[in-house]
Amino acid sequence: MNYYYGYPSASYAYPYWIGYADRSPSPDPADVTQFKHSASQFLVPTLEMYHLLNLLAHSPDLATEIKEAASKSDHKKVESLIRSSGFKTPVSVSYNPEGLQVTLSPLDSNACFAIRLSLCW
């Protein structure tokens, strides 16, 4: 299943479920075990992402540091600044002249989700 995201002017397919291709859903519609597990594992990363957004919205110094490091292509510093907001969840960071992308993946390999945040500079 592909999900389409426009960022900001380009559309492309991003198959979030590539890493989960070896899982097959239970054929029993009443079996929601995996679904519930994934939802419960999603809670902490969601709070971490909320905390990052709150910091960016209310801390101009942090936002400025991240943008300046990105403009200098200092990936280690950008990643370090993002992680310093308190992420325990695996996070990948990318950026381009149009904005910042942060993707969170589950710690638990049995959970099936990804959170992707895209912010324009």
Q: What is the pLDDT of residues 60-77, one digit of tens each?
A: 999 999 999 999 999 999
Query: Tell me: the pLDDT tens digits for 6-50?
Result: 333 333 333 444 444 455 667 788 889 888 888 888 898 999 999
CA distances from 58 to 61, 62, 74, 90, 98 (A): 9, 9, 23, 24, 21
pLDDT class of 109 with cuts at 50, 70, 90: confident
Report which of residues 26 and 102 the model is more confident about.
102
Is the whole-model pTM more than 0.85? no
